[in-house]
């Protein structure tokens, strides 16, 4: 039994229909990240699960029950929003206990849960303050605390860290991960456009684009075996390099050919049988390009160098193509230099030029 299950979902706004029968299952205790650019429908999907918008077709099941027509409060969910959404005229304590008071929970129980959650999030000293007396990070802690006291089986996060500065974002991200580990059986569904958050937090990532699911998989799957060119280009920074070319079948197996350059593809796991002459795009991550003394791919001219501390990103040009190479931060390379690059065929991705799907 899935903790949350979305079946054949369609949401109709005034003029547009989105999703058109989208289905997705979330396992109990899983941390799922919905990742995609803005407008891809990830927040709409989250709102549909929360019951904050009316769905026109399909069903939403939570904890083995059909909650399609249940009110948000009856779905056993808690939600954390990007803008914190704290009630401005209530103290932190009142904010956190609002839902429990609405549900007529006994006073001592409210007291117990609020202090427990406050303790966990280290906001006990803030309980009597108003939201406008808190910093952004503190506000989001309170918002998480408010979700926590609801004792929900499913947590929904709608870009919770997007309003925070970089350092706080890292801190809270780690805290959310710890929280998930501590709560154990709580399912978390987390919407973000930040791939770092997605990679670091998720058990599974759902990559979305234009209201369609592009790929569902573990962070490692998504990163190393992207299902199509969109996923490959969206995840990873610096971006994956794309090189157009074609497949040629030879006696010793298929090889990738782009102009003068060739790459034997042994070690690459094809999902089907590539046909000879098929036009493809080779995708290779910057860290999978190696600077070598003598290699199959010589003659790249260094165009630009971006030192990033631990790593250095080198932009190389070859004719009209450009490649980014990620190399050790201590490498001594200067612009104008010519490099030879080595590629491990087991680490690349091949996509069909027309459909963009992985081969």
Element (H, E) at 283: strand 279-284
Contact with other proteins (CB under 8 A) among 28, 59, 81, 162: 81
Give me Rg for the CA atoms of the chain.
25
Q: Shortest CA distance to 285 belongs to which of 231, 323, 332?
A: 323
Residue closer to other proteins (CB basis): 77 or 263 = 77
- How many contiguous H segments (helices) and E segments (strands) does the chain have? 8, 20
Establish if 76 lies at the interface with other proteins (CB under 8 A).
no
In the complex, the smallest distance separating the C-beta of residue 87 from other proteins, rounded to whole angstroms, is 5
**Which of residues 17, 73, 178, 338 is near other proteins by CB under 8 A?**
73
Q: Alpha-carbon distance 309 to 305, whole Å?
A: 12
- Shorter beta-carbon distance to other proteins: residue 78 or 206: 78
Contact 100, 113 (CB under 8 A): yes
Among positions 36, 58, 99, 217, the unique one binding other proteins when judged by CB under 8 A: 99
Q: Which is nearer to other proteins, 87 or 270 (CB)?
A: 87
Nearer to other proteins, 123 or 350 (CB): 123
* Residue 193 binds other proteins (CB under 8 A): no
DSSP, residue by residue, 291-337: EESS-SEEEEEEEEEEE-SSEEEEEEEETTEEEEEEEETT----TT-
d(CA 78, CA 154): 6
Helix, coil or strand: residue 174: helix
Interaction between residue 77 and other proteins (CB under 8 A)? yes
Residue 50 engages other proteins in binding (rule: CB under 8 A): yes
CB of 62 to other proteins, least distance (A): 13
Per CB under 8 A, does 186 bind other proteins?
no
Tokens of 58: 């399909």
Site for other proteins contains 85 (CB under 8 A): yes
Least Å distance, CB 52 to other proteins, is 5
In the list 5, 44, 47, 138, the residue contacting other proteins (rule: CB under 8 A) is: 47
Site string for other proteins, 245-284 (x = CB under 8 A): ----------------------------------------
Is 98 a residue that touches other proteins (CB under 8 A)?
yes
Does the footprint of other proteins cover residue 88 (CB under 8 A)? Answer: yes
Tally of CB atoms within 10 A around 318: 21
Residue 29, classified by CB atoms within 10 Å of its CB into exposed (0-12), middle (13-18) or buried (19+), is middle
Cβ proximity to other proteins: between 146 and 261 the closer is 146
Q: Contact, 285 vs 277, CB < 8 A? A: no
d(CA 112, CA 263): 64
Q: Which is nearer to other proteins, 139 or 209 (CB)?
A: 139
Of 33, 110, 137, 158, the one binding other proteins by CB under 8 A: 158
Question: How is residue 272 written in tokens?
Answer: 């089907």
Quick one: which of 77, 26, 28 has its CA closest to 50? 77
Q: Which residues contact 336 (CB under 8 A, 6 or more apart)?
A: 301, 302
The residues with which 59 forms a beta bridge, in sequence order, are: 7
The window from 85-93, 111-119, 194-202, 318-326 that contacts other proteins (CB under 8 A) reads 85-93
Minimum CB separation of residue 212 from other proteins in Å reads 25
Contact between 12 and other proteins by CB under 8 A: the answer reads no
Please report, as ranges, the residues that interact with other proteins according to CB under 8 A.
47, 50, 52, 71-73, 77-79, 81-89, 98-99, 102-103, 146, 150, 158
């Amino acid at each position: 039994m899935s903790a949350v299950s979305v079946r054949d979902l369609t949401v109709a706004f005034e003029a547009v229909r989105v999703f058109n029968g989208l289905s997705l299952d979330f396992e109990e205790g899983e941390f799922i990240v919905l990742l995609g650019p803005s407008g891809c429908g990830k927040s709409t999907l989250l709102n549909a699960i929360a019951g904050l918008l009316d769905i026109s077709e399909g069903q939403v099941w939570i904890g083995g029950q059909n909650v399609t027509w249940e009110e948000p409060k009856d779905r056993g969910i808690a939600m954390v929003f990007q803008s914190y959404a704290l009630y401005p005229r209530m103290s932190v304590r009142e904010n956190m206990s609002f839902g429990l008071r609405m549900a007529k929970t006994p006073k001592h129980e409210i007291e117990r849960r609020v202090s427990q959650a406050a303790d966990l999030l280290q906001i006990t000293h803030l309980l009597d303050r108003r939201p406008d007396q808190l910093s952004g990070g503190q506000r989001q802690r309170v918002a998480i605390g408010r979700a926590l006291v609801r004792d929900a089986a499913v947590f929904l996060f709608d870009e919770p860290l997007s309003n925070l500065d970089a350092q706080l974002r890292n801190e809270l991200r780690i805290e959310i991960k710890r929280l998930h580990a501590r709560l154990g059986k709580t399912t978390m569904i987390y919407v973000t456009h930040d791939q770092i958050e997605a990679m670091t937090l998720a058990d599974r990532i759902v990559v979305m684009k234009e209201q369609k699911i592009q790929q569902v998989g573990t962070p490692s799957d998504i990163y190393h075996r992207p299902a199509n060119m969109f996923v490959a280009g969206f995840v990873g920074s610096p971006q994956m390099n794309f090189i157009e070319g074609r497949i040629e079948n030879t006696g010793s197996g298929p090889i990738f050919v782009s102009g003068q350059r060739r790459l034997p593809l042994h070690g690459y796991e094809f999902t089907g049988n590539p046909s000879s002459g098929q036009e493809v795009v080779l995708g290779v991550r910057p860290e999978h390009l190696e600077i070598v003394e003598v290699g199959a791919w010589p003659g790249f001219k260094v165009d630009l160098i971006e030192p990033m501390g631990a790593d250095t990103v080198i932009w190389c040009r070859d004719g009209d193509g450009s490649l980014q190479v990620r190399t050790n931060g201590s490498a001594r390379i200067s612009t104008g230099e010519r490099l030879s690059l080595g590629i491990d065929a087991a680490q690349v991705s091949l996509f069909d030029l027309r459909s963009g799907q992985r081969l």
